Structure 1
Amino acid sequence: MTTVGHAPPYGLIAGELVAGRAVPFLGAAASYAGVPEDEPRRLPGGQMLAQRLIDVFEGYPGEVSDPLTQVAQYYEECVASHGDICRCFRRVFYEEQQGLPPAPTAELVAAIEPPAERPFVVITTNYDCQLEKALELAGRRYTVVIQDTMPWTTHTLLVRKSGGAGFRAMQGKDLVLDDYAGTTLIYKLHGGFCEGLGDDVDTVVVTEGDYIRFVASLTYNTVPPSAIATHILDKRRILFLGYSMADWNMRVILYQLGQRQPRPYDVPRSWGVRRSVSVVEQRFWDKRDVELFDMDLAEFVVNLHEAIGAAA
């Protein structure tokens, strides 16, 4: 049910996050919500990122309103390469962000102290390193887990602990969450850029072909890793920030998680924040037991940050 007319239960949501019974799931809007448009640290959304590719590589024969996946697919096949696109994104999401403060949503995540007996898991489809930056400023230990779905790799994950020199390759079946107890574990579902990851490493899911391979890996239950999937199912509550159900691969992920449930049971309501939700999108969220709040994400983040301070 999309909620209109009353405020989200900030105290309940904050308490569930602090207790480790809810999993934040961050989408594109979470990287720039609350950041003024004229600030250098404001990261682009999908349409602006598509325009960035058009500005860099030029000669795009389609419409400027075409989705990012289509624009990226054209440049990969007809003009440049996947590596060229990845290097362009690295400049946007990593190099140009050096020395700039993180966005409010990242600071919100960093305000949550991980429980001593297990990690605090945060899932994101964003490419940036704002979460790491915010956690470092807050003095928290963290681990970055990057999903690697490129067809030529022999592993599925790249893993680096804070303070580590670089990433190590790992199979998803070998990821044991107890090894990261007391830390924040950032799982980058669509790849990304961060300290210790070489500029020749291409983990980004962005083209239409990337998404096809990504969905294929979902079919074979290699994404997300079983440890993270089990963690989500055990916690059962998810806080969706910056997502649209128009993102079809998100619906596939949620469907796969539902299929992994060992038996039917009553699922407690999860939460999401979206502005101006269509009737069709509302039905998608309702079907997945997500209570959706029709409000500005930046306002929600500010209020929840205050509630987390009180809960902690």
Structure 2
Amino acid sequence: MNSNGSEPPPYGFIAKELVDGRAVPFLGAAASYAGVPDDQPHRLPGGQGLTERLIADWSGYPGSASDPLTQVTQYYEECVASHIDLCRRFRTVFYEEQLEQRPPPTARLLAAIQPPDERPFVIITTNYDCLVEKALDQAGRPYAVVIQDSNPWSPHNLRVRESGSERFEGVQSQDLVLKDYAGATLIYKLHGGFGDGLDKDVDTLVVTEGDYIRFVASLASNAVPPVAIAEHILHDRRILFLGYSMADWNMRVILYQLAQRRPQQQGVPRSWGVRRNISVVEKRFWDKRDVELFDMDLADFVVQLHEAIGADV
């Protein structure tokens, strides 16, 4: 049993589901820094750390550093700067400062998994960084990056780049075909992001309160995620939430929409989530949504999963 008295995760089964392509990793903020030394230069922060850094850098915020990041960014967008200024600042933190960094353990684990020949190995993330791509480059694995472009002025709602390509191409959701990426890893950036070949001032981020309102509206209309990715998830696949705060209402909306779109005659496979300090209320809430939570440090979970997969990462 774990130190908190709970049963340990079924590492062998989770590893097999990942390797066979029947589990879809869903990455939250902690996946980008779990297992990274605290004193490493440019170690990525969590949401609260990012809020504090932004307030310290730009100053003038009349509220508290404990306010939600969405509220702080909304203030700076409306009262001080603009959305593109936020995008440029985040590009520095999540892209430019990470160019020389070693990918974190979670990214190296996922890059070690060989995708099945008949379909892509799909990874979903709400993170803006390119650390998974970097790990895949180092592992020599082919991949494609699909960035959800929620900017209402964009002519396309997806930006797609295959490894080895120098540019992102604009694509409409209905034109994304997963079988085109069979045998490769497909990284779907749900909240926008950055990357090699994406112009510096291209703004795809979901970060302010206004962004999240528009994003949830797109979820409710079934416009996000793309049909191909939604159908991939709904086809008897489990979700492995890594480094995600299960208290986030945004995640509740995503799970609710996926549950509504799942065929009623199809059984719901049990999914998993890993995080620390899970409350009784939170655990009961996610039990009802067929997500089993493991109360443990993500870095420790990744180490054990490395061993179960048997890959040299």
- TM-score, structure 2 as length reference: 0.96
1:202 aligns with 2:203: yes
Distance (Å, rounded) in 1 between the aligned partners of 2:40 and 2:208: 28
Answer whether contact 1:4 1:293 (CA < 8 A) is retained. Answer: no
Distance (Å, rounded) in 1 between the aligned partners of 2:227 and 2:304: 33
Which amino acid counterpart does residue 215 of structure 1 have in structure 2?
V
1:280 corresponding residue in structure 2: 281
Answer whether contact 2:112 2:311 (CA < 8 A) is retained. Answer: no
CA shift at 1:188, angstroms?
0.2
Distance (Å, rounded) in 1 between the aligned partners of 2:151 and 2:140: 33
1:244 corresponding residue in structure 2: 245
Q: Secondary structure at the match of 1:5?
A: coil
1:82 corresponding residue in structure 2: 83
Which amino acid counterpart does residue 293 of structure 1 have in structure 2?
F
Distance (Å, rounded) in 1 between the aligned partners of 2:246 and 2:133: 26
Q: Secondary structure at the match of 1:238?
A: strand
Gaps of 5+ in 1: none
- TM-score, structure 1 as length reference: 0.97
CA shift at 1:224, angstroms?
0.3
Per-residue displacement from partner, 1:120-153 (whole Å, max 9, x unpaired)?
0000000000000000000000000000111111
Answer whether contact 1:245 1:284 (CA < 8 A) is retained. Answer: no
Question: 1:54-69, aligned counterparts within 5 Å?
Answer: 54-69=55-70
For the structure 1 residues 267 and 103, does the alpha-carbon distance in structure 2 shift closer, same or farther, using more than 3 Å as the test?
A: same
Q: Secondary structure at the match of 1:292?
A: strand
Distance (Å, rounded) in 1 between the aligned partners of 2:70 and 2:194: 19
Answer whether contact 1:29 1:241 (CA < 8 A) is retained. Answer: yes
Distance (Å, rounded) in 2 between the aligned partners of 1:257 and 1:7: 27
Distance (Å, rounded) in 2 between the aligned partners of 1:310 and 1:245: 29
Q: Secondary structure at the match of 1:160?
A: strand
Q: Secondary structure at the match of 2:310?
A: helix
Q: Secondary structure at the match of 1:159?
A: strand
1:73 aligns with 2:74: yes
CA shift at 1:236, angstroms?
2.3
Distance (Å, rounded) in 2 between the aligned partners of 1:48 and 1:310: 32
RMSD: 1.5
Q: Secondary structure at the match of 1:169?
A: strand
Distance (Å, rounded) in 2 between the aligned partners of 1:77 and 1:264: 47
2:309 corresponding residue in structure 1: 308
Which amino acid counterpart does residue 146 of structure 2 have in structure 1?
V
Question: 1:176-195, aligned counterparts within 5 Å?
Answer: 176-195=177-196
Answer whether contact 2:51 2:69 (CA < 8 A) is retained. Answer: yes
CA shift at 1:6, angstroms?
2.4
CA shift at 1:56, angstroms?
2.1
Distance (Å, rounded) in 1 between the aligned partners of 2:73 and 2:282: 26
Per-residue displacement from partner, 1:32-61 (whole Å, max 9, x unpaired)?
001111112520111111112112221010
Distance (Å, rounded) in 2 between the aligned partners of 1:247 and 1:150: 22
Q: Secondary structure at the match of 1:126?
A: coil
Per-residue displacement from partner, 1:209-238 (whole Å, max 9, x unpaired)?
000000011111110001000000114211
Gaps of 5+ in 2: none
Distance (Å, rounded) in 2 between the aligned partners of 1:266 and 1:231: 15
Per-residue displacement from partner, 1:134-174 (whole Å, max 9, x unpaired)?
00000000000000111111211000000101000011011
Which amino acid counterpart does residue 274 of structure 2 have in structure 1?
V
1:265 aligns with 2:272: no
For the structure 1 residues 4 and 41, does the alpha-carbon distance in structure 2 shift closer, same or farther, using more than 3 Å as the test?
A: farther
Answer whether contact 2:236 2:269 (CA < 8 A) is retained. Answer: no
Answer whether contact 1:145 1:159 (CA < 8 A) is retained. Answer: yes
Distance (Å, rounded) in 2 between the aligned partners of 1:149 and 1:298: 31
Answer whether contact 2:29 2:126 (CA < 8 A) is retained. Answer: yes
Distance (Å, rounded) in 2 between the aligned partners of 1:270 and 1:58: 41
Answer whether contact 2:160 2:170 (CA < 8 A) is retained. Answer: yes
Distance (Å, rounded) in 2 between the aligned partners of 1:81 and 1:200: 12
Answer whether contact 2:236 2:268 (CA < 8 A) is retained. Answer: no
Distance (Å, rounded) in 1 between the aligned partners of 2:311 and 2:269: 23
Between the two proteins, the alignment pairs up a number of residues equal to 310
Which amino acid counterpart does residue 66 of structure 1 have in structure 2?
D
Question: 1:192-231, aligned counterparts within 5 Å?
Answer: 192-231=193-232
Question: 1:9-88, aligned counterparts within 5 Å?
Answer: 9-88=10-89
For the structure 1 residues 235 and 40, does the alpha-carbon distance in structure 2 shift closer, same or farther, using more than 3 Å as the test?
A: farther
Q: Secondary structure at the match of 1:182?
A: coil
Distance (Å, rounded) in 1 between the aligned partners of 2:136 and 2:117: 16
2:125 corresponding residue in structure 1: 124
The alignment-based identity, stated in percent, is: 73
Per-residue displacement from partner, 1:2-30 (whole Å, max 9, x unpaired)?
99432111000000000011100000111
